[in-house]
Amino acid sequence: MCGVCGCGEGHSHSHDHDHEHDHEHSHDHDHHHEHDAAHSHAPGLSQFRMVQIEQDILAKNNRYAAENRGYFGERGILALNLVSSPGSGKTTLLTETIALLKNDLDIAVIEGDQQTARDAERIRATGVPALQINTGKGCHLDAHRVGHALETLQPKDRSLLFIENVGNLVCPSSFDLGEAHKVVILSVTEGEDKPIKYPDMFHAADLMILNKTDLLPYLDFDTEQCIHYAKQVNPHIKILPLSAKTGEGMDSWLRWLKAELELQRIDYA
Amino acid sequence: MTNTPGADLHLPEGCMAGIAMHEMSLCESILQVLEQQAETQQYSKVKTVWLEIGALAGVETEALRFSFDVVVQGSIADHAQLEIIEVPGQAWCMPCSRNVVVQQLYDLCPHCGSHQLQVNSGDQMRIKELEVE
């Protein structure tokens, strides 16, 4: 996947094309020079000149994300980017989901954490392949790392791929990984105002799981208000309250997964 | 190749690794663009960088300035000045059928109070222009 970054890892067919592009650019140098010189603020007085860039800061990540999305599309893989605060119950939701679906579907998991392979080990214990990415001090997964993970993990065609992002409600919202949907998980122990405290993530997500509903009798959590806040930030967000521990509400989540996977498996012209 | 304890996937450094905060990783991305453009546009030093940052982009501009100075140390953009052009947030209000200004993603329409708003401007993070040598 890495013809662009020069890290020397892996390979992708589409990158030969990119290299050709680079060459074309280098042929243009003389032209750029003259053009930019004309835009200089103080021609003749300074060797400084202006260069128009007009480039999205995340353009590089977005290129990798587009490649990943193409990879998933060709293979009919449903990739979901699971995002939440630390401790929302993402990994437990995954292990319970896998236990209920693994006889019907092929499932693979990419786990992102700053340190340790504990989560990947928990997933592997369920019998499905999992790959741990440690981001070190990094606060999110990026599309480049996910591309490498795909080379190693090689999820099966027409399978379900969960990408469990680093527990963080801020940074992962900006970094597209090529997923079909971001799914944000909020647990009822976190307070109903999380969606407006961290609006970017709830704005970017298509589905919100309200987890640990079995604890509601012991908390002052206002479910209606939480749903209201989430829809205020994102009028299109869909919300599923459930308890991964007791299984309450899991049926809707499993049906959503199967329906989305079925959509991803369609071959469009 | 660095081996991070516990990781199944070991990547070389420089792929946004070792960055502690959101704005730091954005600055890493900015520096990558500056270095990449240095080849194609033939410059060896960056004096000023103009960024366009939307009010809804989730970027703290003061943190961005701080991170930028740290990230560019020793690079072609060492001591470069960062000029941030702030772009206001704008959304289409469905009930009102018009664009309205919003400060936050959770804002309600200032005219009708609806939350049926679709953001259509102010979420960008772009490098617009450079002054180079």
Token pair, residue A75, equals: 């293979």
CATH class of segment(s) A60-264: alpha beta
pLDDT value for B19: 37
pLDDT value for A27: 40
What φ, ψ does residue B45 adopt, rounded to 5°?
-145, 140
The mean of the pLDDT values for chain B is 85
Position B45 in a domain: yes
B3 touches chain A (CB under 8 A): no
Token pair, residue A118, equals: 């504990």
Q: What is the pLDDT of residues B43-56, one digit of tens each?
A: 999 999 999 999 99
pLDDT value for A186: 98
- The three-class DSSP label of residue A188 is helix
Residue pair B26/A162 in contact by the 8 Å Cβ criterion: no
Q: Which of A105, A78, A106, A85 is nearest to A163 (CA)?
A: A78
Contacts of B42 (CB under 8 A, 6+ apart): A29, A32, A33
Cross-chain residue pair A152–B8, CB shorter than 8 Å: yes
pLDDT value for B7: 62
Cross-chain residue pair A47–B43, CB shorter than 8 Å: no
**Residue entry with tokens 């060459």:** A23
Q: State the nearest Cα–Cα gap between A23 and chain B, in angstroms.
A: 9
Q: What is the pLDDT of residues A128-148, one digit of tens each?
A: 999 999 887 777 899 999 999
Residue spans of the domains in chain A: they are: 14-54, 60-264
pLDDT by 10s per residue, chain A, length 269? 455 455 654 433 333 333 334 444 444 444 444 444 444 444 445 678 999 888 899 888 999 999 999 999 999 999 999 999 999 999 999 999 999 999 999 999 999 988 888 999 999 999 999 999 988 777 789 999 999 999 999 999 999 999 999 988 888 888 999 999 999 999 999 999 999 999 999 999 999 999 999 999 999 999 999 999 999 999 999 999 999 999 999 999 999 999 999 999 998 88
pLDDT value for A158: 97
Q: Which of A226, A204, A199, A181 is nearest to A82 (CA)?
A: A181
Q: How many domains does chain B have?
A: 1
Position B118 in a domain: no
What φ, ψ does residue A259 adopt, rounded to 5°?
-65, -45
Query: Closest to B16 (Cβ–Cβ): which among A55, A120, A138?
Result: A138
The β-bridge relationship of strands B98-102 and B89-93 is: antiparallel
Residue pair A226/A186 in contact by the 8 Å Cβ criterion: yes
CATH number of the domain enclosing B82: 3.30.2320.50
Position B2 in a domain: no
Query: Range of B30's domain?
Result: 22-87+123-132
Q: State the nearest Cα–Cα gap between A240 and chain B, in angstroms.
A: 20
Q: Which of A168, A169, A166, A219 is nearest to A189 (CA)?
A: A219
pLDDT < 50 regions, chain B: 1-4, 10-20
Burial A65-87 (b: 16+ CB within 10 A, else e): bebbbebbeebbbbbbbbbbbee
CA angle A241, A242, A243 (to 5 degrees): 145
Name chain A contacts of B57, Cβ cutoff 8 Å.
174
Rounded-to-integer distance, Cα B90 and Cα A222, Å: 30
Residue pair B33/B67 in contact by the 8 Å Cβ criterion: no
ipTM of the complex: 0.70
Question: CA of A29: how far to CAs of A4, A32, A33, B41, B129, in Å?
Answer: 20, 5, 6, 7, 18
Query: Closest to B20 (Cβ–Cβ): which among A131, A137, A202?
Result: A137
Name chain A contacts of B128, Cβ cutoff 8 Å.
52-54
pLDDT value for A22: 41
Q: State the nearest Cα–Cα gap between A187 and chain B, in angstroms.
A: 20
CB pairs under 8 A between A and B: 167
Position B127 in a domain: yes
pLDDT value for A214: 98
Token pair, residue A94, equals: 């995954």
Count other C-beta atoms under 10 Å from residue A88's C-beta: 25
A58: buried, middle or exposed (CB in 10 Å: 19+, 13-18, 0-12)?
Answer: buried
Name chain A contacts of B130, Cβ cutoff 8 Å.
50-51, 53
Count other C-beta atoms under 10 Å from residue B74's C-beta: 7
Rounded-to-integer distance, Cα A245 and Cα A250, Å: 10
Name chain B contacts of A36, Cβ cutoff 8 Å.
41
Position B104 in a domain: no
Token pair, residue A84, equals: 């939440």
